[in-house]
Structure 1
Amino acid sequence: MCNIHPRALIGRHTALGGALDALAQIAEGRLEASAEPDAERTVVARRRFFGTDTVDARTGAVRADRVALSWVGCTTFALAIGGSVLLLDAWVPRFTSSGYVPATAQDLADLRPEAIFIGHGHFDHAGDAGRIAQACGAVVHGTTEHCVAIRAQVPDPSFPTSELGDAETLIGARHEFTVGNVAVTAVRHLHSAPTAPDRSDPASPFFPAPDVRAIVRHPPTLAGVLQSLPRLRDPEGGVLLYQFRVPGFTLTWHDSAGPLTEKAPHVFDVLAGLAPTDVQIGAVQGFNQITNGLRDPRRYIESLGPKLFVPSHHDNWLPGFTSHADRYDTPLRTELARLAPGHRPELRTMHDPADYLSPQRLTFSL
């Protein structure tokens, strides 16, 4: 879940926000600059995140004939594709629990990603983007609002940004560009939001019981709390879906699934007009699940028509607000069963914390 209420409270007090920003910099500080691709630190990080068969042990280069991903909590994924290393969102959960995800922001910087793609600007998606980009020089791709907020996360930012529209950009607008050998399409869509029950397409309400045992097993640290608090003020800044294409493979990723049915139904046609999707990684947890279950994620799947669907934003990184991924298995399978035969993707579930940093779950040969 995103858009937690303390963000609004902190945002009204500029002095408090400034003090928290200062505390955050003291608490976790600047990340070490990432090494060259053939440096031991980078090679070790890439082999851990992408698998020893995907990364050259001497040069740190990733194989161009494979696509490999590692889940880093919530909707953050490290991606090796077309010989490039990319980050999809950039945040390692550590606000209410520490160590639940076996990774750090420094680990992500050590991957030396070429680019960071921001789906939207809330803290649980972009909270580490500034420090990681500053350490490795990655280009941050996002809306104008994302880029402004992320550059403000660090003093004297020196990393480049690529702005994909601003607050006035129409919902459904497309942006086409390339990163290395990867063709990218970004589509403006919507954040999850509650709507009235959809009588024309009814789905069972879903609200999994929270499990707070993670806080006991992985208690928060002062540094993690202080680093996260200022980020509660960060605005959404618009929402982007990204499609990544290399010869023989297409990946579509989105870190929220909005109520397009009620608010922007034309976006379904835009999604259906994208290149055929081999693998879709999509958020399934959202505010509309309370009244409309998993209808919204299902309708994204319906429009994109992937061969394989991988759920995300469904793990217990924020106990009390979130729940374990396995609680989503049954309702998600029920929703997929509503798709017409022949249009139901294979489902590859990712369960926390076992499937964090498990590239064997999401490695594909081209």
Structure 2
Amino acid sequence: MSSFDTDVPVLLLRLDPGPPHHSTLDAVRSLGRAGIEVHAALASARGPVSRSRYLHRRYELPAGPMAHAPLLDLLRDISEGLGRPAVLLPMDDRGAIAAARLAVPLLGRYLLPAQPAGLPERLADKAELALLCRDMDLPHPATALPTDAQQAADAAAELGLPVVAKWSRPWLLTPSTGLRSTTLVRTCEDARRLYELTERAGSALLLQRRLAGGPDAEWVFHGCFARDGVCLIGGPGRTQRARPLRTGLLAPGRRLPDPQVERAALGLAGHLGHHGILGLDFRRDAHGRYHLLGLHTHPGARFRLVTDPSSGLDVVRALHLDLTGRTEPLARSAPGRESPAGTHALPTGPATALAGHPEAERRGAPPTIRCRSSP
């Protein structure tokens, strides 16, 4: 395995105001254990991330949504403090979209994948995803994009109740709206009322046919791709539980081979010309078809499922090697690897309850720097 350039630190960027997902802690641990200096700019200080012994320093972001101009100033200030270029690693959709938009003015300060313009935003948009699946002939749940409340009610009836309702740009939702990114709609009147909240949500409402789930219906793919499109490490896995059941955020999983998932993921990455981390969420229907439900260009909640057993290489380590010019042979993760329960897992026993517990990491909290907003 190639050695890491430990002179190049990593700045994790998470703009979502909620508590950091378990993936953020996993990234801190993985990079820190490789000897890489890890910093984090987080919109929320809650959770065990801030207390991990592998975190060198945390930067506290100002409260509330950040426009790109003050975020650019903040990232420049952090760069001045670091005194050398760093890998910028977004940990959520907001961060990935912002980093892509600011890539040019951040040149020389941060290392980022070379993405096609606007790609992270396009992939995170649920309406754009439906169009992408149509263009590539990938299975995707039947989707309606109503333009008024009556169309929403009619579409819900046509798709077959209950239906899944999604806001096309969920990263625009704020806690003050009281809205969830995904909702199960049981009546046509509920669909009508939800559409009337479109202005509050800040993006379009989608209604999707609900796919019958099961214990082996939820699948993911995590991978990291080099600039030339080569998959440095990647593979599929199956999630085991989620909360709410069969909807919402994914919980524990197991690395399992599946040729259909792998072919779909590699074909999509090649079609997009993707460079960097890519995560995909699938649901298998009763006919064995894998429907693509979501895409993201940051480490997903279960990215540690895909880890090379001999080298410890995962997608965040592979990205650091790639962006710092270190060559790395293709790596394969071992089938059967399990990921620990994350923030949103259903409790299953004492071992799960202790996963990510602050006392497991605490050795003195790293210093916190409170970042100011530009006036």
Fold conserved between structures, TM > 0.5: no
Q: TM-score, normalised by structure 1?
A: 0.29
